Structure 1
Amino acid sequence: MDRPTISVVIPVYNSAEILPALIEQLLPVLHELAAASEVILVNDGSRDGSWSVIGDLAARHPDVRGIEMMRNYGQHNALLCGIRAARFSLIVTMDDDLQHPPEEIPKLLTKLSEGYDVVYGTPIKEEHGLWRDLASRMTKLALQNSMGAETARKISAFRVFRTDLRNAFADYRSPFASIDVLLTWGTTRFTALPVRHEPRRAGVSNYTFMKLLTHAFNMMTGFSVLPLQVASFLGFACACFGLLILVYVIGRYVIQGGSVPGFPFLASIIAIFSGAQLLALGVIGEYLARMHFRMMERPTYAVRSTTSPEEKV
C-alpha cells in the first residue's frame, strides 16, 4: 500500500514552551507514516515569543512551515488559513499543547482508508474541568443542526480529512469560521474513533468557557437558521397564550359580568410579550450583523509573514 502525503495544521497561541517538544514528538511519526509530510504552525497572535520559536523550528526542520497572522483571529480562522496553505493529499489538525498524541495519528489514517472523508479522534477521557466540559457540550449541541446529532457528539480538534474537501469552501469569506461546519459542505462521510487524550504539558488552556460559548453562538447564528425558528416558535407560542388569556377575560366578563382584577397579572402578560418581541428582534439583529460583515467583505484572517518569504498564503 502506498504511503500517503500528509499536511499537519496546528494553530499556535502562547505555546512557546511546548512547541519544541511537539515537533520532536510529531516528526518521527510523520516520517514513518508518510511519503512526504509537512507541519504548518499558524501563529494566531501569540504574545509569548511563539513566532520566534516557530522560526527556529522552521530553520532546523525542512518539514516545518510557519505562518504568522496579523492578530488573534481565533482557532478556527487560523485552521482555515493553514488548511488553505496545505500542499499534500491528507490534512491532520491538532492542538499545540500535546493533548493530542501524535502516536494516535496512524489510527485515524487507518479508519480514513475505509472510505471515509473525515475522521475525528474522540478523547477516551477528556482532561478538562467542569465548566470547560459544559461549554464543549454546548458547542456540540450547536453543531447538531449542521452535522447531525451522532457526528456532533464525537467532534474533536484532532481530525484527519482529505484535502480535496477544501474546494467546497474555497470561496468562503466571513470573520466567523467553523471548520467542522465547513467540512459538511463537502461531504457527509464522517466517523470517529476513541483516542488517548493527554494532560496539557505546560500552561493552561486558552479555550475558556466564554470563548467556547461565543463560538457555539457564532455557529448557531452564522451557519444555521435554528435561532430564527426558535424565535418564530416562541412568538407563536406567546401569541397563542395571549389569545387564551383574551378568551378567558371575555368569557369571565360574559359569565360573571366583571373583568379580571389585578395590575400584576396584566403586567406579567405585557412582560411576556415584550420579552418575546425583544428576543426575536435580537436574533434577527444577529443575522443582520452577519450580513453587514459579509457585505463589507471583512476577511476571515490576514497573514503578516511566513517562514518562507516567497510563499503566498
Structure 2
Amino acid sequence: MTLSIVIPVFRSGRILFDLYDRIAATISQIGIKDYEILFVEDGGGDDSWEIIQRITEKDRRVRGIRLSRNYGQHNALLCGIRAARYDVIVTMDDDLQNPPEEIPKLLAKLSEGHDVVYGAPEREQHGFLRDWASRITKYALQGAMGVETARKVSAFRAFRTDIRKAFEGYRSPLVSIDVLLTWGTTSFASVAVKHHPRQSGVSGYTLRKLIIHAVNMITGFSTLPLQVASIIGFIFAIFGFSLLGYVVVRYLASGGSVPGFTFLASIIAIFSGVQLFALGIIGEYLARMYLRTMDRPPYVIHLQTDGTKYLKGGEDGNPD
C-alpha cells in the first residue's frame, strides 16, 4: 500500500512539528515505505508556511502547498486530494484532535474492501455548540449519503485515490468533500477512533459557519429543498381551494358574505410567506448557478514546495 496524507493547515504553526513527528512515527511502525504528507496552508496569516518549509527541507516525503488566500477547509482538502500521488488518501485536521496513531485503524478497515472509511469519534471534544453544529451538517448529508453513513462522517477519513476521478472536473467554489465522495462510490464504512481536545488555538468553524456550510451542502448538492418547496406549495394550494369552496358554500347557504377580516388577513399572510419561502429557495439555486457560470476556481495555489524547489502554481497544482 502507498499512502498520501492530506492536512489543511490554518493557524496551527505551533503544533505542526509535533503533528509531523507523530505521523512519521506511526507510518514507520506499520511498515509503509512509500508515503507522503501534504500540508495545504490555507491563508491563515501566521508562521505556518515557514514551519512547513522547514519540515519539507527535513523530509522530502513532505510537500507543502500554499493557497493564495483563505478558501476554507474543504477547498484546501480538494487541492491536496488532487495533488496526491499515491493509492490511498488519508485526510485529517491539523489540530491533533484526531490522533495520528489511529491511522492504522482506518487503513485496516479500508483493506476489508471498502472505498471510504471514516474515523467516527468515540466522544467528540468540540464543545456543546460545535457538537450541535456538527450534527446539523450531518443531517444535511443524510440525503446524499444515507442516514447511517452521515452520522459517522468526520474530517478523519481514508479512501482510495481512484474515487477522485468522479469529481476531477468539479470547479465550483462551494465544496463538500463528503458529498463529492458519494459521486464515486456507495461503499462507505466507519471505525471508532479516539478524539482529543484541541491542542492549540481555537477552531475556525463557528456555529454560524457550520450552519452556512450545511445550507450550502443542501442547496449546492441536492434538489431536496426544491422538492420540499413544491410539496408545501401543493399543500397550501389544496388548503386555498378548500377555503374557497367553504366560502362559496357558505355564501350560497346564507346569502351573504362570510365575516372575518382577521382570518382572511392571516390566510393572505400565510400564502405570501409560503411564496417568499419558495422564491428564496429558488434564489439560492440561481445564486449557485451564477457562481458556476462565473467559473471561479475552488482554490488558487500561490506556492508549492517539496524541500528542494519552490514553484508558483495555479488551480489544481499545475505550475504556471
Structure 1 position 257, deviation (Å): 2.9
**Which residue of structure 2 lines up, in the alignment, with residue 19 of structure 1?**
16
Runs (5+) with no aligned partner, structure 1: none
**Which residue of structure 2 lines up, in the alignment, with residue 30 of structure 1?**
27
**Aligned: 1:53 with 2:54:** no
Instruction: Return the alpha-carbon distance in structure 2 between the equivalents of residues 114 and 81 of structure 1.
Output: 28
Per-residue CA deviation, residues 74-109 of structure 1 (Å, 9 max, x unaligned), is: 111000000000011110000000000111111111
Structure 1 position 274, deviation (Å): 0.8
Q: In the alignment, which of 181, 187, 190 is matched to residue 189 of structure 1?
A: 187
SS in structure 2 of the partner of residue 73 of structure 1 = coil
Q: Is the 8 A contact 1:122 1:155 kept in 2?
A: yes
Structure 1 position 45, deviation (Å): 1.0
Q: In the alignment, which of 174, 177, 182 is matched to residue 175 of structure 2?
A: 177
Structure 1 position 251, deviation (Å): 2.1
Instruction: Return the alpha-carbon distance in structure 2 between the equivalents of residues 153 and 248 of structure 1.
Output: 46
**Which residue of structure 1 lines up, in the alignment, with residue 123 of structure 2?**
125
Structure 1 position 289, deviation (Å): 1.3
Alignment of 1:276-287 (within 5 A): 276-287=274-285
**Which residue of structure 2 lines up, in the alignment, with residue 259 of structure 1?**
257
Q: In the alignment, which of 1, 5, 10 is matched to residue 8 of structure 1?
A: 5
Per-residue CA deviation, residues 99-148 of structure 1 (Å, 9 max, x unaligned), is: 00111111111110110000000000001222211111111111111111
Structure 1 position 310, deviation (Å): 4.5
Instruction: Return the alpha-carbon distance in structure 2 between the equivalents of residues 45 and 119 of structure 1.
Output: 28
Q: Work out the number of aligned pairs and report it.
A: 310
Structure 1 position 256, deviation (Å): 2.6
Q: Is the 8 A contact 2:303 2:312 kept in 1?
A: no
Alignment of 1:162-173 (within 5 A): 162-173=160-171
Per-residue CA deviation, residues 252-303 of structure 1 (Å, 9 max, x unaligned), is: 2222333332322111111111111111111111111111111121111100
Greater alpha carbon shift after TM alignment, 113-122 vs 282-291: 282-291
Among the aligned pairs, what percent are the same residue?
61
**Which residue of structure 2 lines up, in the alignment, with residue 222 of structure 1?**
220
Q: Is the 8 A contact 1:138 1:213 kept in 2?
A: yes
Runs (5+) with no aligned partner, structure 2: none
TM-score by structure 2 length?
0.94
Mark the CA change 1:276 to 1:26 in structure 2 (over 3 Å): closer, same or farther: same
Instruction: Return the alpha-carbon distance in structure 1 between the equivalents of residues 59 and 74 of structure 2.
Output: 26
Instruction: Return the alpha-carbon distance in structure 2 between the equivalents of residues 131 and 225 of structure 1.
Output: 28
| Aligned CA-pair RMSD | 1.3
Alignment of 1:1-313 (within 5 A): 4-33=1-30, 34-307=32-305, 308-310=309-311, 313=317
Q: Is the 8 A contact 1:31 1:37 kept in 2?
A: no
TM-score by structure 1 length?
0.96
